[in-house]
Amino acid sequence: MAASAPPAIANEKQYKHVDLNGNAFELPSFTMKQIHDAIPAHCFKPSTLRSMAYVVRDFFYMSVLAYVAVSYIPLLPNAYLRAAAWVLYTTLQGFVFTGVWILAHECGHGAFSRSKRLNWTMGLIMHSFLLVPFHSWRLSHSQHHKATGNLDRDTAFVPHTRESWLRGRFGEKTKANMVEFAELAEDAPIATLWHCLIHQLLGWPGYLFMNLTGQDYDGAKGLRISHFYFGEDSVFYKKNELPLILLSDVGVTAMIAALVWAGQVFGSWYVMVLWFVPWLWVNNWIVAITFLQHTDASMPHYNNKTWTFARGATATIDRDLGFIDTHLFHDIIGTHVCHHLVSTIPFYHAGEASQHIRKVMGHHYKADVKTPFWVAFWRNMRSCQFVEESEGAEGSGVFMFRNLYILPGQTQARDLTGGAKDDIKEKGKPASAMATAMASSRSVDARRRLSHSAQLHALPILSEA
């Protein structure tokens, strides 16, 4: 991505952007050339041998877990022990399945190997195993990366405006200035829990089938907004891409046929506990990870006027899930800012590249590695409801998350203030937050090195060839 100057915005200097927590937000000004120049050259180079070794490792984990489950769980003498053992198995296997999904994701970005044919072959195999249409997802996901944080062009996790959020919950005739709706949107844990369950179980298949959380595409419905559709009127794909969409559907169909065959040969119960429940865990993890990468009180979104690739790519945030991320999830949670800046960097170089990128980004680098993963998920599901421009910055093209019920310490939605404004915190606050993020990230870097070191000692082929 070539360096380009940020777009000029009328009176940009006088705008005061404030995030949901009341912190001042400044537009990033660094260029992609500065980012690329800061990253060591070897970080851009995937190793086919190393990538394939991770595939072998993950499928080895998967096979061992399945063998142990089938061989020993039925022998447990107590029904409660067997139930607990199956819960443990499905949870662990869900981690491994998610790791396989992420390796296929590497293939989709061309970060698995320098060979396009190998990337596409391995991606098709691994994603079909998880009922993901590889090329269909690869192509739409590429559009997400090209327009991250752009309210008009992004294809995934496009946030609501306040008007669309209200209409979606209270009907088409809802007016945005009806303050009484704040009472209906009060903190209701049971309602949030229900939304979380639907979000986690149905969010991923809902996106693939019905483009949930994506763009509106002028109200297009039905097959046209499905990732499985290979008709020429698809909203996602060009005519020359349709054969790849069909190939992806064939891969998913073949996996479904294999599951039906396995159910007939080994029994539906084993298919259910050995594959289906871990697959549900994959749905949970992919949706939760992606949601938290793009949703935070400090996170900006832009319209076409203000957006640049660098600004959009850094409208993401790194988080921490410990050993699960660094070992089983291939660092996808802790290096997502780097991934959006340069998505072709292999995951096993992303940690090193992130250290250099942070020096260029300064306080624009965002990380929350202190808040427990699921605490952050619950908090953001409740508070990050829609986006709008800060009061006094109307027309700036910079949108921050807001909500109606306003938790303590948060910024009021601008037309519900009744004239009362929260003070914007001083510019020292972002610097302090940046220092905290950098210090915490150094701790994560140390744990990442420890995790990788343990893997290299166990399986030397995972090191550089």
DSSP string, 236-275: S--GGGHHHHHHHHHHHHHHHHHHHHHHHHH-HHHHIIII
Question: What pLDDT shows up at residue 217?
Answer: 81
Statement: residue 3 has pLDDT above 50:
no
pLDDT class for 427, splitting at 50, 70, 90?
A: very low
pLDDT class for 215, splitting at 50, 70, 90?
A: confident
Task: Supply φ then ψ for residue 18, to 5 degrees.
Answer: -135, 135
Average of per-residue pLDDT values in the chain: 85
The more confident residue out of 41 and 184 is 41
Residues in the chain: 465
pLDDT class for 15, splitting at 50, 70, 90?
A: confident
Percentage of residues in the chain having pLDDT higher than 90: 63
Token pair in block for residue 403: 């909500």
The more confident residue out of 128 and 456 is 128
Instruction: Count CB-CB contacts under 10 A for residue 201.
Output: 14
Average pLDDT estimate for 350-361: 95
Question: What pLDDT shows up at residue 448?
Answer: 61
Question: What pLDDT shows up at residue 190?
Answer: 72
H helical segments located in 40-78: 48-72
Instruction: Say if residues 366 and 385 touch (Cβ distance below 8 Å).
Output: no
Question: What pLDDT shows up at residue 156?
Answer: 83
Question: What pLDDT shows up at residue 449?
Answer: 57
pLDDT tens across 60-117, in order?
Answer: 999 999 999 999 999 999 999 999 999 999 999 999 999 999 999 999 999 999 999 9
pLDDT tens across 378-415, in order?
Answer: 999 888 989 999 988 889 999 999 987 666 566 665 54
Amino acid at the residue 38: A
Amino acid at the residue 76: L
Percentage of residues in the chain having pLDDT higher than 70: 80
H helical segments located in 109-188: 116-129, 134-146, 162-170, 181-184
pLDDT tens across 329-341, in order?
Answer: 999 999 999 999 9
pLDDT class for 34, splitting at 50, 70, 90?
A: very high
* Domain segments of the chain as ranges: 46-185+241-462
Instruction: Say if residues 355 and 335 touch (Cβ distance below 8 Å).
Output: no
The more confident residue out of 444 and 426 is 444
Helix (H) or strand (E) holding 210: helix 189-210
pLDDT tens across 242-292, in order?
Answer: 999 999 999 999 999 999 999 999 999 999 999 999 999 999 999 999 999
Between CA 48 and CA 109 the distance in angstroms is 14
